[in-house]
């Protein structure tokens, strides 16, 4: 019964999407906005229902800190999803739409895990149940909407790169490069949040707090530098971007060393494995982005900068996104 219900639900959703071809992007943005507002609101209720930190019960304190860290991380992920979907639609960045759908899947996976793990906790059960339901209902629609929107993205690529194969290839690498930088910054902020709630006894020192803040600031400067350098084809800024790219891995190695020193305190924390996993993923992602940056750098001079500078947007042409 549930299988046929899901199939009927998907068919009905696809019918709605395809029946409004000129407004499907607006429909997608409205749906994504409502979805994310709902997820953030429900997550805020989960935080409000947690027991006050500072409890004499160590197990309650540990559970509360872990839940707070994961819930805040999920709220940040939801906000990042809103950026991905708007930037993906307005700037025709296919990878940002893909990241939005992937983030939606991660939110559902965590919501399901969180609900199953706390099924017997009546204080938070209702909020977790509603969060799981919203995520489960939205995920298939996100996949459908994302596929339809991505399939119709060609206006910007055509007006910037035209039909030249090298230009199109350069534009695609530029788009991937920009989109993956967004994921890198989101990952850096998530790591700081999780590290802030490591255990009851181990807290940030002043030095570690300052380094964490400087790390986030460096990531923001890094993404701004990479965006300007790749768009304006500035060799100087690209070399500066390469230099900045080494800061996050060095900071993460420093954090790994801190974890090894305090391992006896940290190994029991629920956030330790996610922090280590995301830290390794962040280093690998930074290497991957640097490789993409080199490819984008080597494409300087092919005409992509001129294509961006000469593009003109008017209501008639932009209103027919996929029709050119």
pLDDT at 2: 43
What pLDDT was estimated at residue 51?
61
Could you tell me if 85 and 96 are in contact, meaning their C-beta atoms sit under 8 angstroms apart?
yes
Q: How confident is the model at residue 120 (pLDDT cuts 50, 70, 90)?
A: low
pLDDT tens, position by position, 43-54: 777 777 666 555
CA atoms within 13 A on the CB side of 157: 24
pLDDT given for residue 119 in this prediction: 59
Q: What is the pLDDT of residue 314?
A: 43
Give the pTM: 0.74
Digit-coded pLDDT (tens) for 144-201:
888 888 887 777 777 777 777 888 888 889 989 988 998 898 888 888 777 766 554 4
Compute the half-sphere exposure of residue 73: CA atoms within 13 Å on the CB side of its CA: 26
pLDDT greater at residue 286 or residue 320: 286
pLDDT above 80 for 265: no
**Per-residue pLDDT band at 1 (split at 50, 70, 90):** very low
Question: How many angstroms separate the CA atoms of 85 and 91, rounded?
Answer: 10
Average pLDDT for residues 30-54, to the nearest whole number? Answer: 75
289: pLDDT confidence band, cut at 50, 70 and 90? very high
Range of 22-26, 117-121, 282-286 with top mean pLDDT: 282-286
Q: Which of 68-72, 181-185, 291-295, 300-304 has the highest mean pLDDT?
A: 291-295
Neighbours of 45 (CB within 10 A): 15
- Give residue 244's pLDDT: 93
Residue 224: pLDDT band by 50, 70, 90 thresholds?
A: very high
| pLDDT-based confidence at residue 273 (cuts at 50, 70, 90) | confident
Name the token pair of 13: 């959703």
Helices (H), the chain: 2-19, 24-49, 58-90, 94-117, 122-151, 155-161, 165-196, 206-232, 235-244, 247-261, 263-266, 272-298, 304-310, 315-318
Instruction: Give the whole-angstrom CA distance, residue 31 versus residue 138.
Output: 9
Q: Percent of the chain having pLDDT more than 70?
A: 74
Query: Residue 311: what pLDDT?
Result: 64
């Amino acid at each position: 019964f549930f299988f046929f219900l899901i199939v009927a639900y998907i068919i009905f959703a696809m019918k709605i999407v395809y029946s409004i071809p000129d407004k499907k992007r607006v429909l997608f943005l409205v749906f994504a906005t409502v979805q994310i507002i709902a997820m953030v609101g429900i997550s805020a209720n989960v935080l409000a229902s947690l027991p006050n930190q500072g409890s004499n019960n160590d197990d309650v304190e540990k559970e509360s800190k872990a839940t707070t860290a994961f819930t805040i991380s999920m709220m940040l992920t939801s906000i990042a999803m809103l950026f991905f979907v708007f930037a993906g639609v307005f700037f025709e960045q296919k990878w940002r739409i893909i990241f939005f759908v992937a983030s939606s899947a991660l939110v559902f996976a965590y919501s399901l895990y969180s609900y199953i793990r706390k099924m017997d906790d009546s204080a938070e059960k209702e909020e977790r149940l509603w969060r799981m339901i919203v995520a489960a209902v939205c995920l298939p629609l996100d996949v459908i909407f994302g596929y339809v929107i991505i399939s119709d993205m060609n206006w910007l690529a055509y007006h910037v790169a035209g039909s030249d194969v090298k230009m199109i290839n350069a534009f695609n690498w530029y788009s991937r490069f920009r989109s993956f930088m967004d994921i890198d910054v989101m990952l850096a902020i998530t790591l700081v949040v999780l590290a802030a709630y490591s255990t009851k006894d181990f807290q940030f020192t002043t030095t570690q707090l300052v380094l964490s803040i400087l790390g986030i600031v460096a990531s923001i400067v890094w993404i701004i530098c990479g965006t300007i350098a790749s768009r304006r084809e500035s060799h100087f800024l690209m070399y500066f971007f390469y230099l900045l790219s080494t800061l996050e891995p060095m900071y993460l190695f420093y954090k790994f060393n801190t974890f090894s020193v305090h391992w006896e305190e940290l190994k029991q924390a629920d956030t330790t494995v996610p922090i280590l996993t995301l830290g390794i993923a962040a280093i690998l992602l930074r290497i991957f982005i640097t490789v993409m940056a080199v490819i984008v750098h080597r494409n300087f001079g092919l005409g992509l900068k001129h294509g961006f500078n000469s593009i003109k947007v008017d209501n008639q042409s932009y209103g027919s996104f996929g029709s050119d």
